[in-house]
Amino acid sequence: MPKEILVNVEAAETRAAVIEDGVLVDFLVERAGHQRHVGNIYKGRVENVLPGMEAAFIDIGLEKNAFLYAGDVIVSPDEREFDDMPHEKARSIRDLVREGQEIIVQVAKEPIGTKGPRVVTHITLPGKYVVLMPTVDYIGVSRRIPDEEERARLKAIAHSIKPKRMGLIVRTAAESRDEKDLIQELHFLIKLWRRIQSRSRRAKAPCLLHQDYDLIYRIIRDLFSENADTLIIDNAAEYGKAIELLRILSPHRAGRVKLYHNDGISLFEAYGIENEVDKALRRKVWLDCGGYLIFDQTEALLSIDVNTGRYIGSSNLADTVLKTNLEAATEIAHQLRLRNAGGIIIIDFIDMDSEEDRKKVLQRLEDALRADKTKTSILGFTQLGLIEMTRKKTRPSLQDILERACPYCDGRGRVLSEETIALRAEREIKRVARSTKKPAMLIEVHPTVASLLIGTGGANLARVEQETGKFIYVKGSIDMHVEDIDIAFVGTKEEVEARAIPVKAGDVIDVEIEEPHASNPRDGICRLEGYIVDVEGGGALVGSTARVEITRVFRTYARARLIDSAIGSGSDANGVYA
């Protein structure tokens, strides 16, 4: 299928979009303020050895110590892409490392949330065609090369060029390549490893020995393969670097790199990437048939719910459910790759009575996931009819990179209702009333909460005043969060009133009519510091500025009459005229 890679380069970040058959399938971001660690090689110091966890914490010079699991001391590369590698007999972490020991490690997983990076002692230096493994003696060929004759040819080449006591894996991109291409790259990787060893002998732990290359280099090395039609870059300097790099690595592909220049529209806008990324962050994803998916992320797992939505089918219920589930399986595989979701994943497909239909849906999901290079394992349907699967997690998800937990709802995705906050405000008023002898108080809340606290015709407020024996002034502030409650001032009635009511009868002011009155659309509503002004006859002037005279002032609102409804927008909306 046609494949394009788009790279948008800006001062603060570089973004890459991978498009297959016109569909965005992967999105990568590298920001100047957020250093990438996966692939970096460090000389670290063992800080703690924890036999109960069969792990050790390694100081590699980052904010959080790295986590080294006993199995990762001899871990193999990604078992999804390459042939199985021999594993040594498992040993205790105390047999492998000791506190204070200096050790060379490579970051396998980025620090995510409260967890530090995960590291391994099995070093891998990836190139375009081969991966050098200087710490293990092994030869392997990518499983993604299906032709057995080609696999045998590449394995023979690997045997003939492999350095002694080192390992070599032939990558998918090496298919049909000449031996000289593999030798040229191998020589580069061997020199790189020798430089790393030299730095390690001179440096004191903790320190960085080797930093993996930037995003554009990794794209050319890992993504810009033979089946990629074009690589489009919108920055002239980075375009030049890419051309020079390809002249060294793969000269025949340099002609497929294009420089994008269009002052009228950006590269990502031209391809609709911005909109697709926004969709990938949404909780609800619509299917073409009219059904939809719901994605809910928790600390432990990602749950995906499939719904028929607007799709009613054309024949029978079983057929409707099957078609929705089949389309959902394809879209789920796409979304997992695009969102870079990882960890435990639970999928709740619409219930199917037929075992044959369940097999079809499971097969569709497996087929759709084959395009995903990240290791996935499908465990099948559980007794509750849910599909349980895992996807390897090596870097933060798209959501983790582009979003943060809501500071208002603390990541819950929900807030307390206005009615709940209004009732809490009542209790807070009563609590303060019991603790003070002052006769009046001013409470500030969000306008939607203020309207409930006051009640129709001020009935609720009158009840609270009767129960507390205090004069209560309520101020609605649009700048306040809906869950916030602020007892702004407690004092005499005159002091509180001066703070709560910004106008007096006879004042002439300029106001902006914000909305029509809820029960009398002929009138318009404006707000002064959260205080409501009901403008008689102002309903037709919503969005306009008008000069009004305050006619009557009440504790929760004021009434006004129009003087001039076309004074423009240059006057001070809070100016008081004598």
Q: What is the pLDDT of residues 52-78, one digit of tens each?
A: 888 999 999 988 999 999 888 864 444
Per residue in 302-344, pLDDT (tens digit) is 999 999 888 776 677 888 899 999 999 999 999 999 999 989 9
pLDDT at res. 347: 96
SS3 40: coil
In 223-364, the DSSP E strands lie at: 230-233, 257-259, 284-286, 292-297, 301-307, 343-348
pLDDT at res. 395: 78
Query: Which of the residue ranges 225-229, 427-431, 561-565 has the most confident prediction, judged by mean pLDDT?
Result: 427-431
SS3 458: helix
pLDDT at res. 81: 43
pLDDT at res. 565: 58
> In this model, does residue 573 exceed pLDDT 70?
no
Other beta carbons within 10 angstroms of residue 22's beta carbon come to: 10
- Confidence tier at 1 by pLDDT (50, 70, 90): low
Q: Which of 530, 450, 536, 437 is nearest to 490 (CA)?
A: 437
Among 31-45, 340-354, 431-445, name the one with the lowest average pLDDT.
31-45
The mean pLDDT value for 125-142 works out to: 90
The residue type at 543 = G
Sign of the Cα pseudo-torsion (184, 188, 191, 197, in order): negative
> In this model, does residue 571 exceed pLDDT 60?
no
The mean pLDDT value for 250-263 works out to: 86
- What's the predicted TM-score (pTM) here? 0.70
pLDDT at res. 90: 53
The CA distance from 375 to 187, in Å, is 29
The CA distance from 68 to 65, in Å, is 10
The stretches of 403-490 forming alpha helices (DSSP H) are 418-435, 447-454, 459-468
- Confidence tier at 35 by pLDDT (50, 70, 90): confident
Length of the chain: 578
| C-alpha Rg value of the chain to the nearest Å | 33
Mean pLDDT, the chain, rounded, equals 87
The stretches of 340-386 forming alpha helices (DSSP H) are 355-369
Name the token pair of 66.
């790295």
pLDDT at res. 570: 41
pLDDT at res. 393: 82
What share of the chain in percent tops pLDDT 90? 52
Q: Which of 23, 25, 19, 14 is nearest to 3 (CA)?
A: 19
Q: Which of 26, 29, 24 is nearest to 12 (CA)?
A: 29
The residue type at 230 = T
- Confidence tier at 18 by pLDDT (50, 70, 90): very high
Among 15-29, 377-391, 518-532, name the one with the lowest average pLDDT.
518-532
> In this model, does residue 578 exceed pLDDT 60?
no
Asked whether the beta carbons of 421 and 485 are under 8 A apart, the reply is yes
> In this model, does residue 568 exceed pLDDT 60?
no
More confident site: 490 or 413: 490
The CA distance from 395 to 342, in Å, is 9
Per residue in 90-127, pLDDT (tens digit) is 578 888 889 999 999 999 988 876 788 999 999 999 98
How far from the centroid of its chain's Cα atoms is residue 195's Cα? 36
pLDDT at res. 77: 42
Beta-carbon contacts of residue 479 (< 8 Å; ≥ 6 apart): none
pLDDT at res. 531: 84
Q: Which of 414, 362, 369 is nearest to 388 (CA)?
A: 362
Per residue in 443-496, pLDDT (tens digit) is 999 988 998 999 988 899 999 999 999 999 998 888 888 999 999 999 999 999
> In this model, does residue 503 exceed pLDDT 60?
yes
Beta-carbon contacts of residue 475 (< 8 Å; ≥ 6 apart): 442, 443, 444, 445, 450, 488, 500, 529, 530, 531
Place of tokens 């047999």: 95
SS3 453: helix
The CA distance from 122 to 45, in Å, is 16
Per residue in 543-559, pLDDT (tens digit) is 889 999 999 998 888 99
User: Judging by beta carbons within 10 Å of its beta carbon (0-12, 13-18, 19+), is residue 306 exposed, middle or buried?
Assistant: buried
Cα–Cα distances (Å) from 303 to 332, 344, 406, 461, 513, in that order, read 11, 9, 20, 44, 46
pLDDT at res. 390: 94
Per residue in 155-168, pLDDT (tens digit) is 999 999 999 989 99
H or E, element range at 149: helix 148-161
Beta-carbon contacts of residue 98 (< 8 Å; ≥ 6 apart): 46, 49
Cα–Cα distances (Å) from 438 to 461, 469, 487, 539, in that order, read 18, 10, 13, 40
